[in-house]
Chains A and B, each alone.
Chain A
Amino acid sequence: MQPASGQAFVGRGFKYGMVWPAVLVILLIGLFPIVYTAIVSFQNIDMFGEDTSFQGGVHYARLMGDARFWQSVLHTMIFLVVALPLELVLGLLLALLFLDRLPGKQIFVALLILPVVTSPIIAGSTWRLLFDNRYGPINQILSWLTGEPATVLWTVNPVYVYPAILLAEVWQWTPFMFLLLLAGLSNVDQSLNEAAELDGAGFWKTFWYVTLPIIKPVILIACLIRALDLFRLFDVVWALTRGGPGTMTETVSIYAYVLAFKQFETSYAAALAVVIIVLLSLVVMAALRRVEFAR
């Protein structure tokens, strides 16, 4: 028996009534800051003056011609394209290693994920101490190995600043890749691998043609999460170099921070944030389509 239309309406209304508070909260928390940031980006707000007048797209036009902004995008991309593959490959190798039963596996896994649970600013500060010329063990070890005093200025010399930051970054986030990929690999049906082996496929062929396609969605999601994180890279760089020497390692996030909280250019920083939000949203949408496709 079909319910009467009035009852259906009451039922639907009740459902919407139950849902709307949650939707409202999500909109307030998630959408409002973005909308407000967008509004601010068209105004003329800084921390020193009272002027909040509408400025149109002035800040966006200025941003397009801001060499420091584009340099910060470039630096961010360098970190992204170097760190992401490194973390992926190292994470995958570790996951393959820990896929089999190993003595003390649980202890090793627990130790491996310690960097992930460390606050990035703490990790960065720790690496700064490790790299310190006077007190740090890294130069000390290099001195032992080379037999002469090693004075590598990791956070000053342009040759070493990128390797130093990347080392800290890869150290901290490879375990994250490892965990996701280990979970993905653990869910691969072993009968498929066994069938491939029976057909005469070796380890690498089995891995390439059987395992990898199965865990591809997991890899894409892991890469997407890490790529977004790397695009927001701040803490480790700030702790190690503060974006220096000069602005040589300044990322987009650091530049946004400097604009908003050091130079107090609130509206200009908001314009930068909006551009980044739009760019990242496009990347995320494209990546999610790829994940769907991979399924």
Chain B
Amino acid sequence: MHNRVVITGLGIWSCLGKNLDEVKDSLYNGKSGIGMDMERKEWGYRSGLTGMVERPELKGILDRRARVGLSEEAEYAYMATLEAMKNAKMDMSWVENNEVGILYGNDSSAKAVSEAIDTIRIKKDTTLLGSGSIFQSMNCTVTMNLSTIFKLKGINFTISAACASGSHAIGLGYLMIKWGLQKHIICGGAQEVNPFAFGSFDGLSAFSIRENDPAKASRPFDKDRDGLIPSGGAATVIIESYESAIERGAPILAEIVGYGFSSNGAHISNSSVDGQIRSLNMALNDAGISADVVDYINAHATSTPGGDFAEAQAIDAVFGTSKPMVSSTKSMTGHECWMAGASEIVYSTLMMQNNFIAPNINFENPDEASAKLNIVSKTTEKNIDVFLSNSFGFGGTNSSLIIKKIK
């Protein structure tokens, strides 16, 4: 007998807003969070485009010992988790006396690492890095810090799976609760936003260079797209067993009903239609639903020519008959990378709760593959009972999550 797995808390810190209300409004209004970072141009970046994410001020909220270990992305994750825990009605005394886990997606902490190495090179003395450097520098910076701050006693590790990290974190949490290994898990994804983090990605010419019009630069599925825009922040999705949520009197926001995953077994950076189709079908099989039940697909589509083309083909192959509405919120956020798989669950659940589909802004003309999809380019009022969210990453890692409205 498997447990039903429900979402009871959401939290977000992104270029669309610093809380759920702000983000919901941005999604509804099709507002872009993209801008220019001139420092990147000084550093020799091909593109200075980025999601514009504010750093939270944590002095006065967290004590010094907690703050010094937080990397930039862990600060974002702290803010998102604080909001999610409040919404999930998980206060500190309850958390301390129950087994709450954390599974968070993160795949770099480049700024902390780079600054530490610079200090060692200049000072020739490792002590002068200070005590926080190591806790900021490791990939598990989010889970090691948040598990300490929130005094978590359950499962505790980081998932690194490139741009599918956040999605796999939720998927693995879902499996753990489904199988009865845990009752409550703080899931999510975090992504640093700074010039240290994206130089190597920029070096692949993967980023849009439409610098004269940042809000128009991210255009997933549009035939004139020229690359993605890096972005970040953090998104937290608190999940637990249905029984636990009822017992606690927690708000049940939605149910996770399917998780599909696959590996392409092919090129390190190119997408694979076959790999994506396997992930989509596995999610549908796990959910025990047919493709026509899905009302909305939040696409991975990042605005790269090759990636979007492959995903459009994969979606058409599986959903070509029912043609559900499709949009990529990356048209507004840019590509939130390690965070994206979690943030897009937050964005889509907000749409589900508020009966609308956020637009795939800048979708003006389809290409041969996207012409076959039902892409939503304007905000559309729509009841969503079931949505699917795709996330794909370098190395050919694919993840698909299916979420259902609780009635």
Q: Do A and B come from one complex?
A: no
